[in-house]
Amino acid sequence: MKTNHYSEIVSPTPGRLTGPMTRLRCWLLGGLGVLAGLAAGPAWADAPEPSVLVCGGAMMNGDQFSDSVLPVFRQHYAGVKRIVLVLHATLPAERDQMEIRLQRAFAHLGGIPAESLHRYDAAGQRALLERADGIFVGGGETFVLLAELYRTGQLELIRARVRAGVPYSGTSAGANVAGLLIGTTNDFPVADIPTRTSLGIFPAVINPHHPLPEANGDFNGRAGKIKIYLQFNPTETVMALGNASIARLHAGRVTVEAGHCWLYRSTGVRALLPGDAVPELTP
């Protein structure tokens, strides 16, 4: 059943889940999700051939994908008949318009119908996720997005669908939650989350909107923050993505498909350009 009523999803204060019982349910679902994830191991490690595209953001030119990323999206979603849009990270008042923009973008991409979860109640959202053969997760507030994925149980469902071979793409916040956990998000924690553990369908921690070297101060500031993060988390790997930059996990390997990316590890950083393979992220 469709609904446009958002009060079941967020409170009047953007990014906050409503009520103590809702928050308790979120934490309980999150705890169960973490236990399941620990039992099963990282989702990307045992997927047959997951196809996951992560974008650093700013991928749109009006109501179309920009020329630099259009060929990558077209290849990624080749053969897909129906896209589900996960727009939890977008402010509720802006979801209708974002859905329209993305519907036009996917129509331009190849005439692929796209529909947002926010049009449906809980049962309808689950049914849409189960029958769509392509998933797109939009940008916005990462903490709101991850909290909602746990609250609804959609985190495990999306993970399972990607494991089954359904192509996934996420931009900005949608890229953040594709990683092993949210650790370098650039976001304020505007919503409570049960855990930083996320979908785990891309074998790194993601940092979107990474400045280019030409913006010297911004570039050095971001690089410094990521390096400090890795001093506290030396076993992790951070894939940083500039705007309109894309990395893709496909056929068991990670490659840079567009723009500028950087691979940060506790031992150093490596700049990446389109066409570069990233063997450090091979399962």
Q: What is the pLDDT of residues 113-146, one digit of tens each?
A: 999 999 999 999 999 999 999 999 999 999 999 9
State pTM to two decimals.
0.84
Which of 26-40, 86-100, 164-178 is least confident? 26-40
Active site residues: 172, 187, 209
- Those residues with Cβ within 8 angstroms of residue 201's Cβ, 6 or more apart along the chain or in another chain: 43, 44, 47, 50, 52, 159, 162, 163, 168, 178, 249
pLDDT at 112: 96
* Tokens matching residue 114: 């796209």
Q: Which of 119, 115, 125, 122 is nearest to 82 (CA)?
A: 115
Q: Torsions phi, psi of 280, nearest 5?
A: -60, -20
Greater pLDDT, 15 or 167: 167
Greater pLDDT, 57 or 41: 57
pLDDT at 257: 97
Average pLDDT over residues 267-271: 96
* Tokens matching residue 110: 């190849």
For the chain, how many residues are written?
A: 283
The owner of tokens 């109640």 is 121
* Tokens matching residue 245: 């930059």
Q: Which of 196, 190, 130, 202 is nearest to 166 (CA)?
A: 130
Q: Which of 196, 167, 164, 204 is nearest to 46 (CA)?
A: 164
What's the CATH number of domain 20-281, 3.40.50.880, 3.40.30.10, 3.40.50.2300, 2.30.30.40? 3.40.50.880
Average pLDDT, the chain: 87
